[in-house]
């Protein structure tokens, strides 16, 4: 089922000194239960695309549709709170909150009772491999891979339909990167969510269901292995 549609989207950055067209007529529909990788060189437009899909901004032209709703005409803060989770390379974990508290925070913010929030958080932490012994540790007491898992658990706890990840393996070693990739791929199926990863890491693309390559603000390649990810030239 299509959950997110990019409909002829263009986006232009303007400053006092220059105008840059970061996206140029991009169209694509994303489905639940799929793991997507969006690849491309720096400046290709992939990060801008992620920002628009997350509702952090609206297109200069065209439309981003969540279901049938145009993100330009809805409460985009609520979109991210209820429907779209974003996992950043920097993770954005609260440094003075424990792993458990980091996951319960958005649930309690939405009005859920503390006891219910803790029960859900514990379940999601366990599902991504963060055992009880780590629930009360601060982020600084966890490895990079463990912190990334906490960030994923937080995204899962809010039960959003879409998970957007910006370079989720960028700061991890090979083993942890592979574990995170497999975790995200499994989540697309087991949780029936749409997982979209923006990445330079071709190991991520190799494991994706669908690879979209961006160049000069356009999607120039995609769809179910028409070209093996290992052969994509960035």
Reported as a single tens digit per residue, the pLDDT across 163-211 is: 999 888 877 788 878 888 888 898 899 889 999 999 888 888 888 999 9
What backbone phi and psi angles, to 5 degrees, belong to 82? -105, -30
Give the integer Cα–Cα distance in Å for 15 and 73. Answer: 25
Identify the CA nearest to 198 among candidates 189, 211, 186, 209. Answer: 211
At 225 the pLDDT is 45
Kindly state the average pLDDT of the residues 3-23: 91
- At residue 87, does pLDDT exceed 70? yes
Give the integer Cα–Cα distance in Å for 19 and 127. Answer: 45
How many C-beta atoms surround the C-beta of residue 78 within 10 A? Answer: 10
Kindly state the average pLDDT of the residues 125-132: 90
At 208 the pLDDT is 92
Kindly state the average pLDDT of the residues 66-72: 92
pTM of the model: 0.85
Q: What is the pLDDT of residues 102-111, one digit of tens each?
A: 999 989 988 9
Q: What is the mean pLDDT of the chain?
A: 88
What backbone phi and psi angles, to 5 degrees, belong to 94? -75, 120
At 222 the pLDDT is 56
How many C-beta atoms surround the C-beta of residue 2 within 10 A? Answer: 13
Contacts of 82 (CB under 8 A, 6+ apart): 110, 158, 160
Contacts of 60 (CB under 8 A, 6+ apart): 10, 11, 12
Tokens of 31: 């489905």
Residue 130 gets the label, from left (phi > 0), alpha (psi -120 to 50) or beta, of beta
């Amino acid at each position: 089922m299509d959950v997110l549609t990019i409909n002829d989207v263009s986006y232009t950055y303007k400053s006092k000194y220059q105008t840059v067209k970061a996206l140029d007529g991009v169209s694509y529909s994303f489905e639940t239960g799929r793991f997507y990788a969006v690849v491309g060189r720096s400046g290709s437009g992939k990060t801008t695309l992620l920002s628009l899909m997350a509702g952090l901004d609206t297109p200069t032209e065209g439309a981003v549709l969540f279901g049938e709703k145009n993100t330009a005409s809805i409460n985009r803060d609520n979109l991210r709170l209820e429907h779209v989770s974003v996992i950043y390379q920097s993770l954005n974990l609260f440094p003075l909150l424990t792993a458990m508290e980091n996951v319960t925070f958005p649930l309690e913010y939405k009005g859920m009772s503390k006891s219910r929030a803790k029960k859900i958080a514990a379940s999601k932490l366990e599902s991504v491999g963060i055992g009880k012994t780590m629930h009360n540790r601060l982020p600084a007491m966890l490895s990079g891979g463990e912190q990334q898992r906490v960030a994923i658990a937080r995204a899962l706890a809010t039960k959003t339909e879409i998970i957007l990840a910006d370079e989720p393996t960028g700061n991890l070693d090979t083993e942890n990167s592979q574990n995170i990739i497999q975790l995200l791929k499994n989540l697309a199926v087991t949780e029936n969510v749409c997982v979209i990863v923006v990445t330079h890491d071709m190991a991520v693309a190799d494991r994706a269901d669908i690879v979209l390559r961006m160049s000069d603000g356009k999607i120039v390649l995609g769809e179910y292995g028409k070209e093996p990810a290992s052969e994509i030239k960035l």
